[in-house]
Chains A and B, each alone.
Chain A
Amino acid sequence: MVEIRGAAAYVPRSTDGDRRVGDPDEDEFTMLATAIERLEDGIEPLGGIGPVVVVGTIAFGAADNVARFLGSPSPIECVGRGPEAFSAALEKLSSGVSAHESALLLAVDRDPGTTGDPGDRGLSHAAIAIWLGGGGANPVATDAFRSAAPSSTGPAFAWAASTAAARVPRWGDWRYDGRAGTRSLPAPAASAPGGATVSQGAYVPWPRYLEATNAHWRLIAAECGACGALTFPPRGRCRACESTDPGRSVRLARDGGRVIASTRIGAGGQPTEFDEQVTAYGPYSVVLVEFAAGVRATLPVALGSGDPPAIGGTVTTRLRRRYPIDGEWRYGRKALVPDPPARGTEGS
């Protein structure tokens, strides 16, 4: 028997007709990461996680990214999609988690027709994260899940599981018209351009990228063991007092960043890795966000977020896709206009 210790859902706020869909820079990994962060908001730190199971069809490599994001030492098991798979996963975790362990049940639903290569531009629709603990005073069984789960989780999952697997537009299918300032979905006649086979810009080698994922994905800063000042990104040396005392890792406030500078990149002003995005979506904004005195991060504004606030305004941040390179997506935090007050039970 297990108890549900916490649960959180994430449903993108963009719409396509009457369906909620992800923004073009979202995928199952970023959606799961957002759901996990929301879960952690109530119970952080989410340490000592045992087994992790993902329900849903996710792209090659996404499970590795989820493991990195969680700092999970063990590989993540992926099972199929749909309510049956979810029930089976819950059953398995219920019997497999001992009294002292906890487990994480993740579920994500996305367009199944675009699973696979890193150039995949499929959109995602919903993700949930459920934290399970062995024993406890509040045991649940599979059949009782919907009634025992926090109210936001059941409907969100039901919504996610019932989402039609319709073909959704791919990022590269869109065309931005700079003169009219609009984007459209032309007839799928022309094949996509070849693109750069060798990086022409924002090239960071894979090992160095992985080394910094805590900072890029989680906004983890270093708090100096000698003077307490924050350094972001962590450099192994305090920016204030030059001490190399490792101190501890501190997560910057994800929702409390203040815009101290802002620019909007027009056609031709982007690094070449962003060419395809600009072709599809046109100009994009980049803001310099301050989280604490002198602690700053340069963040692109998420696609679909709308115009960033003026200097002095507040932004929230989320993990999003940034650009493809060497056949892989590179992820990082992006800034978003803060969510409007939550509506209904879907989260937002």
Chain B
Amino acid sequence: MGHRAAIVGAGHTRFGALEDGPRRLLRTAIDAAFASVERGADRALVHEAFLATIGFGGWQLGNVAAVLGEEAGLSGVPASRIENACASGGFAARAGVRAAQGEPGLVLVAGLEKMTDVSSARRRYWLGVSGDTEWERAAGLTFAGVYGLIASRYVADHPRAADALVEVAVKNHANGALNPNAHFPKAVTAEAVRAAPRVAEPLGLYDCCPVSDGAVALLLAAPEEARSFTDSPVYIDGVGAGTDALAVQERPELTRFGATRWAVDAALRQARVDRSAISFLEVHDCFTIAELLALEDLGFAESGEAAAMTLDGATARGGRLPVNPDGGLKAKGHPIGASGVSQLYEGFLQLRGAAGRRQVPGAERALAHNVGGAGATATVTVLSAG
């Protein structure tokens, strides 16, 4: 099996409504990533950098990759901003893996969003610019509405789905309660989930991820160089990506994300492993319905079976296939550009056995799944302990 790149260091800010602005968040995550490299990492070794962000902080629309260089102490290093909405992080990591291959030194991949600085009207703008504007948003839908449509169809087709949506929220909050970086580090009851105000029926407040600030940074190296930085690198063995029609109304099926299916096939093919080798999943649960779709699109559940799998406890932390042990976007938070990178951070901790109270016992291989918008873009990354 060939490793494509190695994660040799990683840093993560807390997720939530934070005082720090985007520059300080970036610096905090990047400094932590460098500090985490056991044998030390000279910043001069970085030869390329990628920043995943959609709105930066709501005011610096263009050219923000330059800020990444400034805050990382890397001025002069080529840096690019990668933007694919909520999948920006996954796509930035994919670019980082490609840059790391066959070149000595380090690649910096950072994900950032600062969402709570702006008014709620502008925040809804930033949350909405990545869906189809002309046909879906102009019909009165934000992402919650688009996922509400999808959920209405899934619930109509699968009788246990309504209960499973509640269980996804309960499970991910239980996991998030063990994650000190989580935006909502607390458990919720099924009753509270059911009683919450409806945002876009059938989805209620607890079916929706929060609006969060946060930043995450990874340091990648070519696999053959990894052990010069650390004794316990985590390897990236496959990174698949895919796209689909921007508007959900133009896709053949409402409850299948073709981009995810394309991405997972490519990732598993590159990694040359099959699904039975995966210890746990990090999936893109921006809304509870998205976790059920992910289990099916990723091939871990047959069509319509994700509800039963969830209700049977298979996806709980102690289950057969733990899903989102860090709390997921749902409880950990969803700073848009940072989320895909944060999933890989969780893989880095878990596969080194460093996830503390939320450690998945014996985790050897992880699969991370990052979605942009309502399935228009997606990445899937396969990680191993090497």
The answer to whether A and B belong to the same complex is yes
Cβ-defined contact, B149 with A261, below 8 A: yes
Residue A286, interface by CB 8 Å = yes
Residues on the A chain within 8 Å of B35, using CB: none
Of the residues B138, B201, B247, contact of A202 by C-beta under 8 Å: B138
Residue A311, interface by CB 8 Å = yes
Of the residues A199, A271, A294, contact of B140 by C-beta under 8 Å: A271
* Given A268-B199, A269-B142: A297 in contact with B135 (beta carbons within 8 A): yes
In the assembled complex, the Cα of A54 lies from the Cα of B250 at a distance in Å of 38
Known: A208-B134, A298-B149. 13 other contacts (CB 8 A): A201-B137, A262-B152, A263-B145, A263-B151, A264-B148, A265-B145, A265-B199, A266-B198, A296-B249, A297-B249, A298-B139, A298-B141, A298-B247
What's the dominant secondary structure at chain B's contact region? helix
Residues on the A chain within 8 Å of B1, using CB: none
Which residues of A in the span 304-348 have a Cβ within 8 Å of any Cβ on B?
Answer: 311, 322-323, 330, 332
Interchain Cβ contacts under 8 Å between A and B, 11 examples: A260-B153, A263-B145, A264-B198, A265-B140, A265-B148, A266-B199, A269-B199, A297-B135, A322-B138, A323-B138, A323-B140
Cβ-defined contact, A204 with B156, below 8 A: no
Residue B303, interface by CB 8 Å = no
* Given A239-B250, A262-B152, A297-B249: A204 in contact with B133 (beta carbons within 8 A): yes
Cβ-defined contact, A202 with B137, below 8 A: yes
Residues of A within 8 A of B (CB): 196, 199-204, 208, 212, 233, 239, 260-272, 274-275, 284, 286-288, 294, 296-300, 311, 322-323, 330, 332
Cβ-defined contact, B252 with A294, below 8 A: yes
* Given A263-B149, A269-B144, A272-B121: A202 in contact with B133 (beta carbons within 8 A): yes
Closest to A200 in B: B125
How far does the Cβ of A200 sit from chain B's closest Cβ, in whole Å?
A: 4
In the assembled complex, the Cα of A217 lies from the Cα of B237 at a distance in Å of 50
Residue B73, interface by CB 8 Å = no
Counting chain B residues whose Cβ lies within 8 A of the other chain, the interface size class is 35 or more
Which residues of B in the span 250-308 have a Cβ within 8 Å of any Cβ on A?
Answer: 250, 252, 254
In the assembled complex, the Cα of A322 lies from the Cα of B149 at a distance in Å of 19
Cβ-defined contact, B250 with A265, below 8 A: no
Residue B104, interface by CB 8 Å = no
Cβ-defined contact, A263 with B139, below 8 A: no
Residues on the A chain within 8 Å of B148, using CB: 263-265, 269
6 nearest A-B residue pairs (beta carbon)? A263-B148, A200-B125, A261-B149, A264-B201, A202-B137, A261-B153
Residues on the A chain within 8 Å of B248, using CB: 288, 298
Cβ-defined contact, B149 with A265, below 8 A: no
How far does the Cβ of A325 sit from chain B's closest Cβ, in whole Å?
A: 9
Closest to B247 in A: A298
In the assembled complex, the Cα of A275 lies from the Cα of B139 at a distance in Å of 13
Which residues of B in the span 104-134 have a Cβ within 8 Å of any Cβ on A?
Answer: 121-122, 124-125, 128, 133-134
In the assembled complex, the Cα of A288 lies from the Cα of B226 at a distance in Å of 50
Residue B200, interface by CB 8 Å = yes
Cβ-defined contact, A269 with B145, below 8 A: yes
Closest to A301 in B: B140
Of the residues B122, B133, B140, B150, contact of A286 by C-beta under 8 Å: B140
B133, B137, B140 pick with most chain A CB within 10 angstroms: B140
Closest to B139 in A: A298
In the assembled complex, the Cα of A311 lies from the Cα of B150 at a distance in Å of 12
Residue B225, interface by CB 8 Å = no
In the assembled complex, the Cα of A176 lies from the Cα of B254 at a distance in Å of 32
How far does the Cβ of A219 sit from chain B's closest Cβ, in whole Å?
A: 12
In the assembled complex, the Cα of A271 lies from the Cα of B140 at a distance in Å of 6
Q: Mark B142-183, 1 if CB is under 8 A from A, else 0.
A: 101100111111001000000000000000000000000000
Cβ-defined contact, B139 with A286, below 8 A: yes
Closest to A272 in B: B121
How far does the Cβ of B184 sit from chain A's closest Cβ, in whole Å?
A: 18
Closest to B255 in A: A261
Which residues of B in the span 193-207 have a Cβ within 8 Å of any Cβ on A?
Answer: 197-203
* Given A261-B153, A269-B142, A274-B140: A298 in contact with B198 (beta carbons within 8 A): no
A204, A268, A300, A311 pick with most chain B CB within 10 angstroms: A268
Residues on the A chain within 8 Å of B122, using CB: 200
* Given A260-B254, A311-B152: A272 in contact with B124 (beta carbons within 8 A): yes
* Given A298-B135, A298-B141: A264 in contact with B200 (beta carbons within 8 A): yes
* Given A269-B144, A270-B140, A300-B139: A311 in contact with B153 (beta carbons within 8 A): yes
Residues on the B chain within 8 Å of A212, using CB: 134
Residues on the A chain within 8 Å of B141, using CB: 263, 265, 271, 286, 298
In the assembled complex, the Cα of A266 lies from the Cα of B140 at a distance in Å of 11
Closest to B134 in A: A204
Residue B31, interface by CB 8 Å = no
Residues on the A chain within 8 Å of B250, using CB: 239, 296
How far does the Cβ of B336 sit from chain A's closest Cβ, in whole Å?
A: 16
Cβ-defined contact, A266 with B200, below 8 A: yes
Residues on the B chain within 8 Å of A199, using CB: 125
* Given A196-B121, A201-B128, A274-B140: A288 in contact with B249 (beta carbons within 8 A): yes
Closest to A263 in B: B148
Cβ-defined contact, A263 with B201, below 8 A: yes
Residues on the B chain within 8 Å of A263, using CB: 141, 145, 148-149, 151-152, 200-203
Cβ-defined contact, B140 with A284, below 8 A: yes
Residues on the B chain within 8 Å of A332, using CB: 138-139
A200, A212, A260, A296 pick with most chain B CB within 10 angstroms: A200
Closest to A311 in B: B156
In the assembled complex, the Cα of A332 lies from the Cα of B150 at a distance in Å of 22
Residue B136, interface by CB 8 Å = yes
